[in-house]
Amino acid sequence: MNELRVLVLIPARYASSRFPGKPLAKISKKSMIQRVYENCLGIKNQLKNSVVSVVTDDSRIEDHIKSFGGEVVRVDDDVASGSERIALALERFYSDREWDFVINVQGDEPLIESDLLSRLAKYHSESDFDMATVVKPFSGNEGEHSDVNKVKAIYSPVRGQCLYFSRARLPYYRDQVEAQDWFLHIGIYSFKPNILKAFCKLPLSHYENIEKLEQLRALENGYTIGAIKTEMTLMGVDVPDDIKKLEGVLREREIES
């Protein structure tokens, strides 16, 4: 496993309809993008041939990454998704090397840990899935299950495969059982490089356009998506109010340590 060649790319746009400037938002005095980047860097201790880089379209984010010694590349093209941005970064800046996998880590997952990325790469290398991602089991959490910002994965344990993703409250429990188990989708994708390139050449798909979830384009075009499960504490940042919740989690960690 240590010989796997993994390129970790973190797309970070400044513009956001719900939270402009989100990558630079401070979380306990450190920017969100710096937390994501530094947490991902640990993969180099587990996979010696890995590279971690931020892909941005904004000089403010670029300058900030350079200020703490991080690796960053610019892709200013107007693209529809983070995966399309990292595909261009792969082509323009990292095509001089052969990669086993390209992992897309969303820049708004500041609690991500490198061990999870290593697990994902290992899982993908031992499977026949075109793509691989991460899901987290939940049980009975009414508020989060109904939250449209929390993407639900219809995950089949038979093959460890994701069958669908939705912002809606899925699955629907017809018999109204008390504990309604479901899977939260974590915004991390592992691509085989050829699949990433082919995927990004496909047009916007029907359900992708409805749900605004790019992974549905892959499913609608016949690509398979496997997933690993995690119990790791993760919290994506969608709106400014999420920052306070995240800082609370970090304070609890400091108390426990």
DSSP 57-102: S-HHHHHHHHHTT--EEE-----SSHHHHHHHHHHHHSTTS--SEE
Letter for the amino acid at 124?
H
Q: Residue 248 pLDDT > 90, yes or no?
A: no
pLDDT in tens, 95-111: 999 999 999 998 888 88
Instruction: Retrieve residue 238's tokens.
Output: 């969608």
What is the domain count for the chain? 1
pLDDT in tens, 43-64: 999 999 999 999 999 999 999 9
State whether residue 33 is helix, strand or coil: helix
Angstrom distance (rounded) from CA 230 to CA 119: 10
Q: Residue 8 pLDDT > 90, yes or no?
A: yes
pLDDT in tens, 192-246: 999 999 999 999 999 999 999 999 999 999 999 999 999 988 887 777 888 888 8
Residue predicted with more confidence, 17 or 104: 104
Q: Are 86 and 79 in contact (CB under 8 A)?
A: no
The CATH number given to whatever domain includes residue 20 is 3.90.550.10
pLDDT in tens, 107-143: 888 888 999 999 999 999 999 999 999 999 988 777 8
Q: Torsions phi, psi of 201, nearest 5?
A: -90, -10
Residue predicted with more confidence, 174 or 132: 132
In a 13 Å sphere around the CA of 152, the CA atoms on its Cβ side amount to 21
Domain coverage including residue 188: 6-256
State whether residue 115 is helix, strand or coil: helix
Mean pLDDT of the chain: 91
Q: Torsions phi, psi of 144, nearest 5?
A: -70, -35
Q: How many CB atoms are closer than 10 A to CB 133?
A: 24
What global pTM score does this model have? 0.92
How high is the pLDDT of residue 132?
98
How high is the pLDDT of residue 179?
67
The DSSP output letter for 22 is G
* Residue 1 located in a structural domain: no
